[in-house]
Amino acid sequence: MNTIKSEKMIEHEIVKERQRWQKWKELNEKTRVFFGRGILAKVSFVIVVFFIIVAIFCPLLTPYTPYQQSLKDALKGPSANHWLGTDNLGRDVMTRLMYGARISIITGLLSCFWSALIGMTLGLIAGYFGGFVGGFIMRMSDAQLSIPPLILVVVLAPILGGTILGISICIGVSAVPSYVRMINGKVLSLREEDYITAASLVGQTEAKIMIKHLLPNCFATLIVMFTMSVSIAIMIEAALAYIGVGITPPTPAWGSMIADGYNYLISHPHLAILPGLCLMALVVSLSVVGDGLRDALDPRLRGIL
Amino acid sequence: MGIYIVKRILISILIVFLVSIFAKSLIHLLPGDPARMAMGYEAKEEDVEQLRIKMNLDKPITTQYIIWVKGLFRGDMGMSVLYNRPNRDIFAERLPRSIAIGLPALLLSVPFAIFFGIISAIKRGTLIDQIMTFFITLGLGTPVFWLGILGIYVFAIWLKILPIQGFVSPFADFGGYIHKAILPVCCMSVAMVAGVTRQTRTNMLESINQDYVRTARAYGISENKIQFKYALKNALIPVITIIGLQMRVIIGGSLLIERVFNIPGIGSLLVAAINNRDYFVIQDAVLFISLFTVGVNLIVDILYGFIDPRIRLGQKRMV
């Protein structure tokens, strides 16, 4: 009796150990795929991490605040006190760039959160129920797709005002249709799986099937879409701020820094060019990281996203 | 085929209808009173009230919507508060300028992009492919307005070979048009070349892996003939769709490029209208842009149905 039990326990241990090993190996494989895309992926990863660190710790990294003006120091070149010089109101350019990273990253993440939340819910409903409700949701997203996202955001932005929350909701809403389509397609294929039929046969409610069975299977797609759209959201945020309908100045958004710097292009070109360089570095690296994540998590999405 | 076309047309009409409802409701969603905006803040309340009645703002939103749509069918697009001119005249004046920047950008970028895409797919995994993939990522990640500013700095301020800003109609002065439009057109092309190259590469890779390519190989047909005769032909079909999708990039880009280069087109009109709450221009512009993209997509869908029987038979849904 005793020996049988211990044998079972050993077997159990072995199975558990094997599962752990399997998981570790999978993770290892994913990391390998992620970083195996050459030097570009590694550099991009470092750049993204760098911007995130700067965004989190910017108050510790600089003695100034992004709003601190000093008109007698206006439009100065690089010096020991101001490493990248000052802008037309005597604000430290480097400080504003650092806080700009914070604004960009927060807005980007927040807007993707909104679009993921709304898009996932609508996509699940459209895919699972189909019929009239599904058709209605899909036609609505078709209608939204007929307006280019930037135009839609520009039109919606004044409604919610120039705060980070308002702008992120506008950008988030503009990206909803692509999430709806993606999740809808995924759910349509998942619906035919046997375990969904089984779940509904044993009498599970529709809400439970959607949340417990369909949702987890959409997660990989969702994570990939999320990473890929953060860079687009950051770009749209900057474009909005550049046009003058984005996050209201004096909040240090890179887009409005470019627009302000444009007025001093002849005498102080770095005021417009530096924020754009930061923006480009962040957006490009984020999209390379997104590509890597896609290849690691859901390679079938290659070519679609 | 007939049923397919009718279906596409009906869906397009439905989409435009939904967008028109959205465009009209903007007047209530956006903060601020159009009549008050038009008269200024010093105006007397009675005068503002009178203008409000003249603008039909006192009527319920459904009545306003019907009046607006009726006007549109008669060719009357309403009056701009900001410019105090009929919207139709403003659009007719500004649209050619936007086309004069957008169309050359499209025509210039598509051939290059297809060429790059094919090279990149055929040479998959080699150094050339990696370099191209890098430039695609770079091109898609570069903010178009910043690229414009950089271009102005390099070519106008530093090298002094191009003018800083402005626009001349190609019919008035073709040399001057080229001189002034070359920079905005090139800036707009960058993102488009990158996008279309990536799509062509994906399509080409997909068709290289198809069964008929394997069969052709098994028959002993030369690799060059397979790639250019069989794979390329099928890879080029979706390019029509891609060109349709690029319309969105052009319209979005015109918003930014026209601001950088100070070109008085549709994009800058919309920005001015938003900043000044010129509601009647906003609703017309939104509907107009949507009508344009829906129209382009409809043409693309129908063309596609003619070229690729799988589409009209419903075997393959295009994104």
Is the C-alpha dihedral spanning A251, B140, A51, A24 positive or negative? positive
Token code pair at residue B319: 């994104």
Report the percent of chain A where pLDDT is more than 70.
96
Running DSSP on this structure, what letter comes out for residue B85? Answer: S
In chain B, which residue's Cα lies nearest the Cα of A274?
B146
Token code pair at residue A226: 């999320």
pLDDT at B309 over 90: no
pLDDT at B89 over 70: yes
The minimal CB distance from B141 to the residues A159, A231, A303 is found for: A231
Q: What is the mean pLDDT of residues B24-48?
A: 77
Please count the residue pairs, one from chain A and one from chain B, whose beta carbons lie less than 8 angstroms apart.
Answer: 132
In chain A, which residue's Cα lies nearest the Cα of B293?
A146
Q: Which of A137, A144, A150, A283 to mutate to test the interface with B (most CBs of B within 10 A)?
A: A150
Q: Are A235 and A279 in contact (CB under 8 A)?
A: yes
Q: What is the mean pLDDT of residues B218-242?
A: 79
Contact check, Cβ <8 Å, A276/B259: no
d(CA A263, CA B274): 22
Rounded to two decimals, the pTM is 0.87
pLDDT at B311 over 80: no
Of A266-275, B13-22, B44-53, where does mean pLDDT reach its minimum?
B44-53
- From the list A199, A192, A209, A187, the residue with the least C-alpha distance to A119 is A187
Q: Does B156 touch chain A (CB under 8 A)?
A: no
* Residue B79 backbone phi and psi in degrees, to 5: -110, 145
Q: Which residues of A touch B249 (CB under 8 A)?
A: 148
Q: Which of residues 266-305 of B touch A (CB under 8 A)?
A: 270-271, 274-275, 277, 282, 286, 289-290, 293-294, 297
Q: What is the mean pLDDT of residues A148-165?
A: 88
* Residue A58 backbone phi and psi in degrees, to 5: -55, -35
Residue A3: predicted pLDDT: 58
The minimal CB distance from B157 to the residues A239, A266, A275 is found for: A266
Q: Are A269 and A6 in contact (CB under 8 A)?
A: no
With vertex at residue A254, the alpha carbon angle to CA A253 and CA A260, rounded to the nearest 5 degrees, is: 95
Q: Which residue has the tokens 């957006």?
A: A283
Q: What is the mean pLDDT of residues A123-147?
A: 88
The type of residue at B1 is M
Q: Does A135 touch chain B (CB under 8 A)?
A: no
Residue B149: predicted pLDDT: 93
Q: Which residues of B touch A136 (CB under 8 A)?
A: none
Q: Are A275 and A30 in contact (CB under 8 A)?
A: no
Residue B154: predicted pLDDT: 92
Q: Which residues of B touch A151 (CB under 8 A)?
A: 251-252, 255, 270, 286, 289
The end-to-end CA distance of chain B, in Å, is 20
In chain B, which residue's Cα lies nearest the Cα of A266?
B157
Q: Which tens digits make up the pLDDT trace of B127-145?
A: 888 888 889 989 988 999 9
Q: Does B146 touch chain A (CB under 8 A)?
A: yes
Closest-CA distance of chain B to residue A292, Å: 13
Q: Give residues with Cβ within 8 angstroms of A234, minimum separation 6.
A: A104, A105, A107, A108, A279, A282, A283, A286
- From the list A138, A124, A301, A143, the residue with the least C-alpha distance to A227 is A301
- From the list B257, B19, B198, B16, the residue with the least C-alpha distance to A303 is B198
Q: In 10 A of CB A179, how many CB atoms?
A: 26
Q: Which tens digits make up the pLDDT trace of A239-263?
A: 999 998 888 888 889 999 999 989 8
Closest-CA distance of chain A to residue B119, Å: 17
| Average pLDDT along chain B | 84
Report the percent of chain B where pLDDT is more than 90.
17
Q: Does B198 touch chain A (CB under 8 A)?
A: no
Q: Which residues of B touch A288 (CB under 8 A)?
A: 137
Q: Are B289 and A148 in contact (CB under 8 A)?
A: yes
Residue B319: predicted pLDDT: 35
Q: Which residues of B touch A139 (CB under 8 A)?
A: 11, 14-15, 18
Closest-CA distance of chain A to residue B299, Å: 14
Question: Which residues are registered as beta bridge partners of A86?
Answer: A92
d(CA A28, CA A226): 22
Q: Does A150 touch chain B (CB under 8 A)?
A: yes
Residue A301: predicted pLDDT: 66
pLDDT at B179 over 90: no
Q: What is the mean pLDDT of residues A172-181?
A: 92
pLDDT at B301 over 90: no
- From the list A9, A54, A167, A242, the residue with the least C-alpha distance to B149 is A242
- From the list A178, A187, A120, the residue with the least C-alpha distance to A149 is A178
Residue A37: predicted pLDDT: 67
Residue B312: predicted pLDDT: 65
Q: In 10 A of CB B30, how many CB atoms?
A: 17
Q: Which tens digits make up the pLDDT trace of B2-22?
A: 788 888 899 899 999 999 999
User: What is chain A's alpha carbon radius of gyration, rounded to the nearest angstrom?
Assistant: 24
| Average pLDDT along chain A | 86
Q: Are A179 and A115 in contact (CB under 8 A)?
A: yes
The CATH 1.10.3720.10 domain(s) of chain B lie at 91-275
pLDDT at A114 over 90: yes
Q: Which residues of A touch B145 (CB under 8 A)?
A: 239, 242, 258
Q: Which of B13, B126, B136, B274 to mutate to test the interface with A (most CBs of A within 10 A)?
A: B274
Of A89-93, A261-265, B67-71, B176-180, where does mean pLDDT reach its minimum?
A89-93
d(CA B186, CA B106): 10
d(CA B167, CA B292): 24
Q: Does B22 touch chain A (CB under 8 A)?
A: yes
Q: Which residue has the tokens 């991009």?
A: A44
Is the bond into B143 cis (omega within 30 degrees of 0)?
no
d(CA A177, CA A184): 10
Token code pair at residue B275: 């900043």
Residue B162: predicted pLDDT: 85
d(CA B232, CA A232): 31
Q: Are A206 and A214 in contact (CB under 8 A)?
A: no
In chain B, which residue's Cα lies nearest the Cα of A240?
B256
Most confident segment among A48-52, B38-42, B251-255? A48-52
pLDDT at B160 over 90: no
Closest-CA distance of chain A to residue B271, Å: 7
The minimal CB distance from B270 to the residues A154, A157, A262 is found for: A154
Residue B317: predicted pLDDT: 45
pLDDT band at A207 (very low <50, low <70, confident <90, very high): confident
> Per CATH, the architecture of B91-275 is what?
Orthogonal Bundle (1.10)
ipTM metric: 0.86
Residue B316: predicted pLDDT: 46
Residue B318: predicted pLDDT: 40
Contact check, Cβ <8 Å, B271/A272: no
Q: What is the 3-state secondary structure (H, E, C) of chain A?
A: CHHHHHHHHHHHHHHHHHHHHHHHHHHHHHHHHHHCCCHHHHHHHHHHHHHHHHHHHHHHHCCCCCCCCCHHHCCCCCCCCCCCCECCCCCEHHHHHHHHHHHHHHHHHHHHHHHHHHHHHHHHHHHHHCHHHHHHHHHHHHHHHCCCHHHHHHHHHHHHCCCHHHHHHHHHHHCHHHHHHHHHHHHHHHCCCHHHHHHHHCCCCHHHHHHHHHHHHHHHHHHHHHHHHHHHHHHHHHHHHHHCCCCCCCCCCHHHHHHHHHCCCCCCCHHHHHHHHHHHHHHHHHHHHHHHHHHHHCHHHCCCC
